[in-house]
Amino acid sequence: MKIEAKKIKEWAQRLGFDACGMAPARPVDAIHIHWLDEWLKAGCEAGMSYMANHRDLRIDPSTLVEGARTVISVALNYYPPQCRDTSEPHIAYYAYGKDYHDVMKRKLRELWQMIRAYCPEESGAEARVFVDSAPLLERYWAWRCGLGWIGKNTSLILPHRGSFFFLGEIVMNREVDQYDEPIKSHCGTCERCLQACPTHALEYPHRLNARRCISYLTIENREEIPAGIRRQIKNHLFGCDACQLACPHNRFSRPTRVEEFHPSEELLQLKRVSLYTLTEEDYRHIFKGSAVKRAKFTGLQRTIQGWKKD
């Protein structure tokens, strides 16, 4: 029994997702596997050694769900209704509200329950939901499911909506009656994102070197930030949106309707001067339930102390 793709998209919209598409659960295209292998060979993953793990799982969704037939990709807008003063330390927009992993997983599980209820009990319908929780190439699948195209800054860009979106997936062992087609890139000759990167981490179109990326260095990185790059980080506390803010397609960005992603007044009003005396108790209180906690208190302290050195 094939499931109606139209119904899945209607349910996704009802749950608040901004886009939903579907593709057959086949191995990743050879050219994308080549790009991944070349990126790893060049060491662009920096300290994210897990990116080199589970290659077989990463390139074939059928290894994640037995009998996988369909990948469903969804996008959820996180563009904030209010932004921090640009003269104050920058916090990536995606971390303004509650941790997206929790919000996205809850919505994805609800979507799967709707799909599961539509299937006959004897059908044996099974699935897994993913939000950065498995070796799955989420931007590839969002592109393959027709949500948007992968920009030169490596972000997924939705037509007439921009790139400030979280992505999530459902891999299920059932087919749908109609699959979506990938969208052609609309980047053209534009390279504003490359020019806007403060540390030149975007070495050329579609090539992001994490060793120089402010997002990696202020979040995932557990080592000291090299002095030469630290000076270029300047006013960034957690993450970086420079390449996205420079992208002309983000002129279409609209504030998210998801209340969990709205920033607290404390986060909006957090000042550089107060960060110099930030205690671990302050950190736990201000960033409770936030993705900022991924950097840990020690990570934030390292970045803040780096400002003083420069």
Rounded Cα–Cα distance for residues 5 and 21 (Å):
8
The answer to whether residues 226 and 310 touch, using CB atoms and an 8 Å cutoff, is no
Torsion of CA 120, 123, 129, 134, to 10 degrees: 180
Place of tokens 């969804």: 74
| Catalytic entry in 132, 180, 282, 310 | 132
Provide the terminal-to-terminal Cα distance of the chain, rounded to the nearest Å. 63
Question: From residue 76, how far is each of 13, 19, 101, 300 by CA, in Å?
Answer: 10, 7, 12, 27
Instruction: Per residue of the chain (310 residues), give pLDDT as tens.
Output: 799 999 999 999 999 999 999 999 999 999 999 999 999 999 999 999 999 999 999 999 999 999 999 999 999 999 999 999 999 999 999 999 999 999 999 999 999 999 999 988 767 899 999 999 889 999 999 999 999 999 999 999 999 999 999 999 999 999 999 999 999 999 999 999 999 999 999 999 999 999 999 999 999 999 999 888 988 888 999 999 999 999 999 999 999 999 999 999 999 999 999 999 999 999 999 999 999 999 999 999 999 998 877 6
How much is the pLDDT for 122? Answer: 66
pTM across the whole model? 0.95
Told to judge if 132 belongs to the known catalytic residues of this protein, a careful annotator would answer yes
How much is the pLDDT for 158? Answer: 98
How much is the pLDDT for 228? Answer: 86
How much is the pLDDT for 310? Answer: 65
